[in-house]
Every structure is written in structure tokens, then in C-alpha cells.
Amino acid sequence: MRLSVILFLIAISTVLAGSVTIKSLVFPTETSTSYVGMVPKKPMTLNAFTLCMRVATELPGERETILFAYRTRDYDELNVWRELDGRLSFALAGGTVMFQVPPFSALQSHLCITWDSSSGASTVFMDGKKSLTKTYKQGHTIQPNGKVIIGQDPDNYLGEFDANQSFVGEMCDINMWDSVLSDRTINDLFTGKRVPRGNVFDWETAEFEVKGQVQVVDRVL
Amino acid sequence: MRLSVILFLIAISTVLAGSVTIKSLVFPTETSTSYVGMVPKKPMTLNAFTLCMRVATELPGERETILFAYRTRDYDELNVWRELDGRLSFALAGGTVMFQVPPFSALQSHLCITWDSSSGASTVFMDGKKSLTKTYKQGHTIQPNGKVIIGQDPDNYLGEFDANQSFVGEMCDINMWDSVLSDRTINDLFTGKRVPRGNVFDWETAEFEVKGQVQVVDRVL
Amino acid sequence: MRLSVILFLIAISTVLAGSVTIKSLVFPTETSTSYVGMVPKKPMTLNAFTLCMRVATELPGERETILFAYRTRDYDELNVWRELDGRLSFALAGGTVMFQVPPFSALQSHLCITWDSSSGASTVFMDGKKSLTKTYKQGHTIQPNGKVIIGQDPDNYLGEFDANQSFVGEMCDINMWDSVLSDRTINDLFTGKRVPRGNVFDWETAEFEVKGQVQVVDRVL
């Protein structure tokens, strides 16, 4: 009897696991006008974070491309870039830390970035694989009350976009936590587990504001 | 008692899962004469398909390489290419759709291509990772009564092969379905599940005709 | 009751699986002096082997880099290289066998090399993916009583290191067996299983001698 219950629960979970539909953002062409604004669930005063997303882009390696921009009135508080030379970087209000990673492609990559202020430990994960650890901005705190933009790099508060740095491709499942998730949890997210949900951004419930030529399509996971 | 039965079945499945032996095709050198012909299980009148294979090749990026060719008397009905610039493409009797993917290498890649006539949705999967979706040949139907060739690109019905486009490396587990499989099913196939078996080509039972210098070796999965 | 026991064992295994802490070697800069010596559990008279490790390096492709060196007084008995052109190679006292593989990066790759004297069959695995098979040094036996060095290539017994060939990056989980493990076992090791433990080198219990600027850090798996 108890066994039947367990098997029933397993069956139900499998069915439910297969039924998640999420939104996916398609940026079909280079523009200086298309972007998606996202509203965080809580103020972005952060001493640590994990930021994850799924990204596919066929943009060539020799092009700076913005992947995530969080800017307050005066500072780029957290920008994630694919650099000219193909490296992945992130920048917290001054300086930048870079990682030599496999190139993005038409295939979707699962990308996570983790940073912890107390040690400065910074890592990236692609498809569940962890990078070596770099030390960056130890003791720093990310400031609240800015704006998160997907698709463009704002050179001032919500403007002065540069088409040459815009994102072209598909992006979804942008989730953020105010702590560093374990390696195992990040690998679980890559392979499709939907918990834990982000406490700064939770893609499944996130509100977003779409501007310009961005297609919002459904994706069944 | 019922638990024992379940554990017994799990154990048996594990043992059986480990015992599949399949054929693998080794094309050791560039030729204009070596190829393998494959016979479909049913007429290739297709309004949708999923085509999968495992491929390893050390051919450099700067070389067109044929991966799969299905030609009727007058048309290339379905050709899959690794293009000069390393992109993966497929072509259905006119035009072509291209995907920027990671390069092939000595390591075996699991490749799938899906296409659906009703929407024109075209995607590729490498090692279970899905690409962005492109629209191609909406409303088209692939025609029956042609010939499937592995290793060469026929410029007419079964002839005029070009050594510079021939396949060199190892290929196996070529399976084809007349529908678009789900992302999850394709990921399961990548990780080694052997069901569903292809209803157009099923590698485990496929008949093939080997011409020239092609080695057929056993591979235990 | 029996079900409870099984669920308890599953729970315990999961907890234990999550609790392994291993040492990881960080080589922060190019030197001709930093290395780690490793002591095998048994004499390295080998007619077959599987050698695995986890490697992350941001060294560019155009640089020879030593990944593993086992040298007796007169011969390089087993050297593993990332070659100038990015290929992976290994050499057993004469000649070398090369594999075109995806580039290393800041992300950790799981690398295994297998060789069997009876057939000469040589393969590499990256992240669980098997390469095509090459034939190399059939009938050869690796000789005992040498020294294993990580980080440098000794041009004589334990000396004449060349900084341009030194390893820079992070390496851990170097395990070696005196037999060829199955594809499935190697994939299990990639995905985190900790058995079977190496019978030539077992990283979890290995003694090593650290020279120069090598940081030994803990890594929780």
C-alpha cells in the first residue's frame, strides 16, 4: 500500500516535471531599441548572488554582446558580457573579471555566475560545468534601486543603447538568488530541476516589460 | 513481494540496457567511391521528421562534408551538411537552413535534426542540447522513392561523387522518425535510451549495403 | 519495513555522495619550478591503463602544455600533452597518438585516456564522450620504477623543466587503473560516481609532494 503511494507520487512528479511551460525571449535582429525590463522580487542589495539563464546566439566571437545589465542612476552595478575575444565577463561597478569559456552557438547553453563578497570568489558555470575560481571585488556590496535590462547595455539610466552591443538570439529562464548555490544545485538546474526558485528573479513568475522587436514565445520543458 | 518484483525488473533492465551491440561505420579515408546505402522501413513521404545519428570526425572546419543524403531521381530531397565554415545545415529540395554549432571532433557527438512542415519549425540538437528554432520550407512535403546514401553526396541518382565532400570518420545509430520527437525524448536518446525506435530508419534492424572502403565494426553500448 | 530500509539506504547514500571533499591543485602562473610528485600504489608495469583527471586551463591553444608525465631514468614512459595545435596526445616511450578534441577552457573538463597493449586500442574521453579508436603501441609494456610529475615535463629524471610547457590552471581527481574501464564506468565517473577507486592512483588517498607555487585547495563534490 505504501509502495503504491510512493510509485503514484513518482509518476505524478514525472508528469508534472514534463509539463512546465516557460516564456522565452527571441531577439531576431540587431537593434538599439529592443529590450526587456525585469522587476526584481526584492531590493537588489546583494553581498552574494547566483545569476542563471539559458542563452543561444549565433553572433560571431568578434563582437561585444551584453547578456544582462543592472544599472542604478550612476553606476553599472552588474553587467554580464560576452567579450570581443569570446571570453565571458562580469563587472560590478568598476573592474571586470573574465573567463575563457566555450563559444556560444545556436545550441542553448545554461549559464550561471556566482559571486560572494566575503571571499570575492567568482565562478561561472556552463551546462553544469564549473570554472576555476577567481577573486574579484571582495567586500563590495551591489546597490539597490536600479533597473535590469535584457538585450541592451544602457550607458546611462535606461538609455543610450548601442546596436553593436545588443543581444541577438534567444534567452530564457533568467533566475537570480541572493546567495551562492551549491555546485550540485546548479547542475540540477542545468539538467532541468525547477527548484529552488530564484528569490531575486524567478522566471516562472517574473513580470517583464517588452520594448521593440522582441518575440515572447512559449517553451515546454 | 511486489517490491521484490519491481527491484528484479529494475535489475534486469539495467543488465539488458548494458547489452546492446550496434554496428558502427568507419570511413577511414577520403574517397569518391565508398558509401553505405540504407533502405527505409516505409516510403519517405514526410511532412515532419526527426533524424538522429552519432558522428565523430577529425576533418578540419574548412571543408564541406556530407552527413546524410536522400535523393530522388531529380532532387536532393534531404541533405545534411557540415558546411565550409563549420555550420551545420540541412536542405530540402531547394534552399538551406544553417545552424552555428560547436565543431565536430574525435569525440562522438549525438546529432538530431527536426523539421515540421505545418510550422516550418527547424531545430538541431547536439548532445541533447536544443538550438534556437528557425523557420524553413513551411508546407513542403518530402517525396518518396529515392535513395539514402551515407558517406557521399550524389550529384545525380546514385553517382557523381566528389571525394572533397565525402565523409571521413565514424558514424552510427542513424535513426529516423516521421514526426518531431519531444526535447526530452531526444535528450533520453542522447543519454543512451534505446526507445522509441525509428519508424523510418531503425539502426538496430536496418539493412544496409556497403560499398568500397567502409569498415563495419561492433560497438557495445 | 523492507521498503523503509531501502529508502533509508537511498537517503544515506545521497547524503554520503554529497559529502566528499577532495584536494585540488591550482598552478597560478607559468614556472619551471612548480610541480606535484605522485606516488603510485603499485609498480607501474602496465599492459593497459585508464588515466582520468579533471582539468581547467585558460592557456591559449597555441602552446604545448604537459598534463601528466611518468618518466623512468631513461624514457618518457607515459606523457599526456595538449599539443601546440590544441590536439590531445599521449606518448608511450616513442611515437605519439593524437586526438582532435574540443579546447580546454576555464570550465573543468573530465578527461580519461585508455590504452590496451593487446590490441593497441587507444581512446580518449572528454566529459564522458568517447573518441574514435586509434591503434598505438600494440604489444608494448609500460615500465616501472619511474616518477610521476604533475605540472612539468621532465626532460631527464626529475629535472630540466621548461616553463613554456608547464601547466597553468587547476587539476584534480587524478586517478589511474591498470585496466581499461568500460564506457559506462567512465561516464559514471564523469557524472560524479566515486567508484571504482583507482588501483594505481587513487586521488582520495594519494600521497603527493608539492614543490614551488602550487596551491592545494579543498573542493566539495
What percentage of chain C exceeds 70 in pLDDT?
90
Best of A1, A88, A100 to mutate (most C CBs within 10 Å, chain C): A100
Of C96, C94, C65, C59, which Cα lies nearest the Cα of C82?
C65
**What confidence score (pLDDT) does residue C5 get?**
52
Q: Which three cell numbers stand for residue A84?
A: 570581443
List strand residue ranges (DSSP E) for chain A, in order. 21-27, 35-38, 48-56, 65-71, 76-82, 88-91, 97-99, 109-116, 121-126, 129-130, 134-135, 147-150, 169-177, 208-211, 215-220
| Whole-Å CA distances, A36 to A33, A221, C48 | 10, 22, 56
Chain A to chain C Cβ contacts (< 8 Å) = 41
Handedness of CA A61, B109, B212, B91 (dihedral sign): negative
- pLDDT, average across residues B85-99: 93
Helix (H), strand (E) counts: chain B: 2, 15
Contact C57, C103 (CB under 8 A): no
Please answer yes or no on whether B170 and C102 come within 8 Å at the CB atom.
no
Distance from the Cα of C129 to chain B's closest Cα (Å) equals 6
Neighbours of B34 (CB within 10 A): 24
Contacts of A109 in chain B (CB under 8 A): 129
Distance CA C32, CA C167 (A): 10
**What confidence score (pLDDT) does residue B221 get?**
73
**What confidence score (pLDDT) does residue A14 get?**
44
Please answer yes or no on whether A124 and C106 come within 8 Å at the CB atom.
yes
Find out whether the peptide bond into B196 is cis, omega within 30 degrees of 0: yes
User: What's the whole-number average pLDDT of chain C?
Assistant: 89
**What confidence score (pLDDT) does residue B13 get?**
46
The pLDDT-based confidence of B220 (bands split at 50, 70, 90) is confident
The pLDDT-based confidence of A3 (bands split at 50, 70, 90) is low
Identify the H or E element spanning B24: strand B21-27
Q: Which three cell numbers stand for residue A61?
A: 566571437
Question: What 3-state class would DSSP assign to C6?
Answer: helix
Contacts of C102 in chain B (CB under 8 A): 102-103, 105, 107
CA gyration radius, chain A: 18
Q: What is the DSSP-derived secondary structure letter of residue B165?
A: G
What percentage of chain A exceeds 90 in pLDDT?
74
The pLDDT-based confidence of A74 (bands split at 50, 70, 90) is confident
Q: Which three cell numbers stand for residue A201?
A: 528573479
- pLDDT, average across residues A9-24: 61
Distance CA C109, CA A206 (A): 34
**What confidence score (pLDDT) does residue C133 get?**
87
Q: Are strands B76-82 and B65-71 parallel, antiparallel or unpaired?
A: antiparallel
Question: What 3-state class would DSSP assign to A187?
Answer: helix
Distance CA A132, CA A130 (A): 7
Contacts of B170 in chain C (CB under 8 A): 132
Residue A215, pLDDT > 50, answer: yes
Of B135, B145, B116, B119, which Cα lies nearest the Cα of B45?
B145
Residue B9, pLDDT > 60, answer: no
pLDDT digits (tens, 9 = 90+) for A188-203: 999 889 999 999 999 9
What percentage of chain B exceeds 90 in pLDDT?
75
Supply the ipTM of this predicted assembly. Answer: 0.76
Residue in A with minimal Cα distance to B183 = A221
Chain B to chain C Cβ contacts (< 8 Å) = 41
Please answer yes or no on whether A103 and B102 come within 8 Å at the CB atom.
yes
Identify the H or E element spanning C115: strand C109-116
HSE of B139, CA atoms in CB hemisphere, 13 A: 0
**What confidence score (pLDDT) does residue C12 get?**
45
**What confidence score (pLDDT) does residue A104 get?**
93
Contact A171, A24 (CB under 8 A): yes
- Looking at the DSSP assignment, which residues form a beta bridge with residue C109? C55
**Nearest-10 Cα torsion for A78, A82, A85, A89:** 30
- pLDDT, average across residues A86-108: 94
Q: Which of A6, A101, A184 sits opposite C106 (nearest CB)?
A: A101
**What confidence score (pLDDT) does residue C159 get?**
67
Distance CA C89, CA C83 (A): 7
